[in-house]
Amino acid sequence: MKLSEELKWRGFVNQTTLKDLSRLDGEPITFYWGVDPSADSMTVGNLAMAMMARHFIDHGHKAVLLVGGATGMIGDPDGKAEERDLKPLEEIEKNKAGIAAEYKRVFAGQDFDFVDNYEWFKGIGYLDFLRDVGKHFSMTQLLDREFVQSRIGKGGKGISYAEFSYSLIQGYDFLHLFREKGVTLQLAGADQWGNSISGVELIRKLEGQESHVWTGPLIMNTATGKKFGKTEDGAVWLNPEKTSPFQFYQFWLNADDGGVETYLKVYTLLSREKVEAVLAEFKADPSKRAAQKLLAYEVTRLVHGEEEARKAKEATEQLFSGNASDAAPAVTVTPGEHDTVDLLVKAGLAASNSEARRLLEQGGVKLNQQKIEAQKVTVKPGDLLQVGKRKFVKIT
Three-state DSSP string of the chain: CCHHHHHHHHCCCCCECCCCHHHHHCCCCEEEEEECCCCCCCEHHHHHHHHHHHHHHHCCCEEEEEECCCHHHCCCCCCCCCCCCCCCHHHHHHHHHHHHHHHHHHCCCCCEEEEECHHHHCCCCHHHHHHHCHHHCCHHHHHCCHHHHHHHCCCCCCCCHHHHCHHHHHHHHHHHHHHHHCCCEEEEEHHHHHHHHHHHHHHHHHHCCCCEEEEECCCECCCCCCECCEECCEECECCCCCCCHHHHHHHHHCCCCCCHHHHHHHHCCCCHHHHHHHHHHHHHCHHHCHHHHHHHHHHHHHHHCHHHHHHHHHHHHHHCCCCCCCCCCEECCCCEEEEHHHHHHHCCCCCCHHHHHHHHHCCCEEECCEECCCCEEEECCCCEEEECCCEEEEEC
**pLDDT tens for residues 355-388?**
888 888 888 888 876 788 888 988 887 777 888 7
Q: What's the sign of the alpha-carbon dihedral 154, 157, 162, 165?
A: negative
State mean pLDDT over 191-209.
93
pLDDT > 90: percent of the chain: 56
**Residue 51 and residue 109: Cα distance in Å, rounded?**
14
**pLDDT tens for residues 212-224?**
999 999 998 887 8
State mean pLDDT over 254-260.
92
Task: Report which of residues 394 and 120 the model is more confident about.
Answer: 120
Task: Report which of residues 180 and 162 the model is more confident about.
Answer: 180
Amino acid identity of 128? D
Of the ranges 188-192, 276-280, 351-355, which one carries the lowest mean pLDDT score? 351-355
Q: How many CB atoms lie within 10 A of CB 215?
A: 23
pLDDT at 157: 74
- Residue 64 reports pLDDT greater than 90: yes
State mean pLDDT over 6-33.
97
Spell out the residues 6+ positions from residue 281 whose beta carbon is closer than 8 angstroms to its own.
288, 290, 291
Distances (CA, A) of 262 to 82, 177, 200, 204, 227: 32, 32, 30, 36, 13
pLDDT at 7: 98
Contact 84, 104 (CB under 8 A): no
**pLDDT tens for residues 164-180?**
788 899 999 999 999 99
pLDDT band at 186 (very low <50, low <70, confident <90, very high): very high
pLDDT at 390: 63
| Sheet hosting strand 330-331, strand order edge to edge | 330-331, 391-395, 384-387, 365-367, 370-371
Task: Report which of residues 229 and 256 the model is more confident about.
Answer: 256
**Residue 343 and residue 359: Cα distance in Å, rounded?**
13
pLDDT at 166: 82
Return mean pLDDT, the chain. 88
- Residue 232 reports pLDDT greater than 60: no
pTM (predicted TM-score): 0.81
CB-side neighbour CA atoms (13 Å) of 123 = 2
pLDDT at 380: 81
pLDDT at 389: 66
pLDDT at 28: 97
- Residue 146 reports pLDDT greater than 90: no
State mean pLDDT over 180-205.
94
- Residue 79 reports pLDDT greater than 70: no
pLDDT at 322: 54
pLDDT at 128: 92
- Residue 23 reports pLDDT greater than 70: yes
pLDDT band at 270 (very low <50, low <70, confident <90, very high): very high
- Residue 83 reports pLDDT greater than 70: no
**pLDDT tens for residues 283-340?**
999 999 999 999 999 999 999 999 999 998 988 887 666 555 555 677 888 888 889 8
State mean pLDDT over 47-72.
96
Task: Report which of residues 389 and 49 the model is more confident about.
Answer: 49
pLDDT at 78: 60
- Residue 259 reports pLDDT greater than 90: yes
Distances (CA, A) of 281 to 237, 257, 285, 292, 339: 30, 13, 7, 11, 45
State mean pLDDT over 123-127.
93
